[in-house]
Amino acid sequence: MSTPPRQKRLTPTDITALKGVRPAVCLTAYTTPMTRLFDPHCDLLLVGDSLGMVLYGMETTVGVTVEMMIAHGQAVMRGASHACVIVDLPFGSYQESKEQAFRTAARIMKETGCDGVKLEGGEEMAETVAFLVSRGVPVFGHVGLMPQQVNTAGGYRSKGHSDAEAEKIRRDARAIDQAGAFAIVIEGTVEPLAREITGTIAAATIGIGASPACDGQVLVSDDMLGLFNDFKPRFVKHFADLAGVISKAAEDYAGEVRARSFPGPEHTFQVRPKK
């Protein structure tokens, strides 16, 4: 009896093809168990360098390493059977030169089996994007608010309010699109500008704090799940309150341990009667 063929995961080309058809659904993913829960519902899973802040308690994404991205990329790939999986290139691993970017991207793709890589930057990164794409590396771009540039941007703030800033984002998106990126994240950008860009480029736009008119949406999964209630950016919606659920579960567990009501007899192993 033959086994049924394994389901084919979506590709970067499939993500671009959704443009004008329906919105692409994207979440960040960092671990195998969570990937298995997200995978059936998502078109694209992003192993984001946001893991530095979400999982490791860093203040920014700047301290994330290639090795960290590979480890979590491998974990996500073990759980993905449907969604396209893209891994972020971390800060300092691609900006020096297009050759450095290719070496990093090739290593990440080889060691994880992911479908492509994401990098931040606009006009200054267009040559690098074209270099990667021409050598078989699908590239997911990122314009607008760019977390890896937080130290030069003066912090996390929405972009595109001034005419000059809006025009720079337009040029950035156009340059990365023309360089061959299959999709582009537009982050923290005023709504009319994100809407305009979506209608003028070939790449699929994936919004986060941008516009409902974008070709898809992405959220950091832990934000979406309500695991961080101390800080909630304007663009985040909590679709659950797992922070409260987890805290209550820990409180109940601690109470039962202290009261010696857990573990009960049903949670222990008794000596089997001798035959």
Q: Which residues pair with 142 in a beta bridge?
A: 121, 185
The CA distance from 160 to 130, in Å, is 25
pLDDT in tens, 180-230: 999 999 999 999 999 999 999 999 999 999 999 999 999 999 999 999 867
67, with CB counted inside 10 A (0-12, 13-18, 19+), is exposed
* The total number of structural domains that make up the chain: 1
> Among all chains, which residue has been given the structure tokens 């985040």?
236
Residue type, 55: L
Give the global pTM.
Answer: 0.92
Residues serving a catalytic function are: 187
Residue 40 domain-assigned (yes or no): yes
pLDDT in tens, 135-177: 999 999 999 999 888 766 666 678 889 999 999 999 999 999 9
Residue 176 domain-assigned (yes or no): yes
pLDDT of residue 4: 47
Q: Where are the alpha helices (DSSP H) in the chain?
A: 12-17, 32-38, 51-54, 66-79, 98-112, 126-134, 150-153, 163-178, 191-198, 221-224, 242-258
Residue 266 domain-assigned (yes or no): no
Residue 83 domain-assigned (yes or no): yes
Task: Please state the residue numbers annotated as binding site.
Answer: 49-50, 88, 118, 120
Residue 63 domain-assigned (yes or no): yes
Report yes or no: 237 and 215 within 8 Å, Cβ to Cβ: no
Task: Please state the residue numbers annotated as binding site for Mg(2+).
Answer: 49, 88, 120
Residue 93 domain-assigned (yes or no): yes
Task: Please state the residue numbers annotated as binding site for 3-methyl-2-oxobutanoate.
Answer: 49-50, 88, 118
Residue 6 domain-assigned (yes or no): no
pLDDT in tens, 37-72: 999 999 999 999 999 999 999 999 999 999 999 999
Residue 2 domain-assigned (yes or no): no
pLDDT in tens, 85-108: 999 999 999 999 999 999 999 999
Q: Which domain holds residue 47?
A: 12-241
CATH number at residue 232: 3.20.20.60
